[in-house]
Amino acid sequence: MRAIVIGSGPAGLYASLTASRHSKVTLIEENEKLGGICVLYGCIPSKAMFHPVNLMGSLGKFRPKEVDLTELQEIGREAANRVSKGVEYLLESHGIEVISGVAKLGNGEVRVGTQSYPYDSVVVATGTSKPKVQGTVASDELPYIEFKGKRVIVIGGGAGGIEFAWFLSQVGAEVHVVESSNSLLQGNDLDISNAVKSNFIRKGIKLHLGLKAVKTEGGKVELSDGSILESDLTLFTFGRRPNVDGLGLELNGKYLRVDSRMKTSSEAVYGAGDVTGTFTAHEAIHQGIVAGANAVGEKWEYNGSIVPKIIYSKPEIATIGKLEGKSVKVSYSSLPRAVADRETEGFLKIYYEGENIVGGAIYGERAEEIATIIGLVIQWKIRMEDLFRYHFPHPSYMELIWEAVGRVLGYLN
């Protein structure tokens, strides 16, 4: 049996590793380096750049520190290269053949240049492409560009816009955020949206809400109200397009249509990752595993109903599950560990139905870990009564969950 995987991002990598247990696997990647957008431009280099800034932010509460953007960019590039090499090693160690080139999907075969590769099954994990908007730079290019100025305009107040606006403000830039809706993080928990707005205003980040960037040219951005902002760098943070051209597969809107088994409209062809409309690397990984398993004859189904969504600013932002219905909110300022660490900005808000938690919104230190625990609680249907009786370590940030549950149950009111 031969399976072909197109794309080496998180979805393609894990589809290849999973399928290789029962099949010969060939992975086709058009870029020079392996790892896809996540490894080369997105998750990895950005988090590598953010980490020192996070540390400096914490240390700054005791003694102010300065960070250099050029040095941070080098850290980001080094991290991307190391993880890309790790992807290469993983594929090699599993006996997966890697071919460099642009793949064209045909009937029972994939063409790369003049070569044809017959297949029994294919996983399409081609990802997305960055937007090309005149006068702007896509946010994922930041680790690779030279930037000497001070004025930055970030177009988009979604997750990417929040991360990069925070980051650039922390390295000394004068940052403006342009967002067409009337709030940041439109569609997120309202308390989180308001908290981020207040935090940005305190940091001196200029917000232009309810306005669109109608023209970007020559270091100037014209807004829909006629005002003009001047910029040394204009970052565009949304609008990625799925790479579906030439596949000949049925779409769901602009994304590849797949069912719960990640199967497309074509026989023996599966899809996974951002090309199907996912927005996180961890969704892509698990879609890739399901697609890879089914591509070699197994019967797996993908369930993406409980997925943590994280924004790696400081304070960190995380949501999980349903953000509606009854809720209780606990402040970080009531937490001994947060007081000790001087990390008292933020809150945990849990949503519940009956005796179970159904969702969570976290704005504050360790939000990622707290959301992960809440996700497990939701997935395994752990009752709040049982959760309250669990010994969360003290002092820890995880005690926020215990305190919130205790308030719902009436034990800590």
Distance CA 345, CA 333 (A): 7
pLDDT class for 66, splitting at 50, 70, 90? Answer: low
pLDDT the model gives residue 57: 72
pLDDT class for 75, splitting at 50, 70, 90? Answer: very high
Is the confidence at residue 59, as pLDDT, over 90? Answer: no
Based on DSSP, count helices (H) and strands (E) in the chain, helices before strands.
11, 25
Average pLDDT over residues 68-90: 95
The secondary structure element, H or E, covering residue 146 is none
Report strand pairing: 228-230 vs 128-129.
unpaired
Task: Indicate where the chain has its CATH 3.50.50.60 domain(s).
Answer: 2-130+240-295, 137-236
Task: Name the CATH superfamily, with its identifier, for domain 315-409.
Answer: FAD/NAD-linked reductase, C-terminal dimerisation domain (3.30.390.30)
CA-CA distances (angstroms) from residue 225 to 204, 206, 207, 210, 308? 22, 16, 14, 10, 36
Average pLDDT over residues 274-298: 97
Is the confidence at residue 60, as pLDDT, over 80? Answer: no
pLDDT the model gives residue 65: 60
Question: What are the pLDDT digits (tens) for 341-380?
Answer: 999 999 999 999 999 999 999 999 999 999 999 999 999 9
Residue 4 pairs in a beta bridge with 26, 122
Average pLDDT over residues 130-143: 91
The SS3 call for residue 6 is strand
Q: Which fold would CATH assign to domain 2-130+240-295? A: FAD/NAD(P)-binding domain (3.50.50)
Is the confidence at residue 64, as pLDDT, over 60? Answer: no
pLDDT more than 70, % of the chain: 98
Average pLDDT over residues 217-221: 92
Task: Indicate where the chain has its CATH 3.30.390.30 domain(s).
Answer: 315-409
Per CATH, the number for 137-236 is 3.50.50.60
Is the confidence at residue 218, as pLDDT, over 90? Answer: no
Question: What are the pLDDT digits (tens) for 305-342?
Answer: 999 999 999 999 999 999 999 999 999 999 999 999 99
pLDDT the model gives residue 107: 86
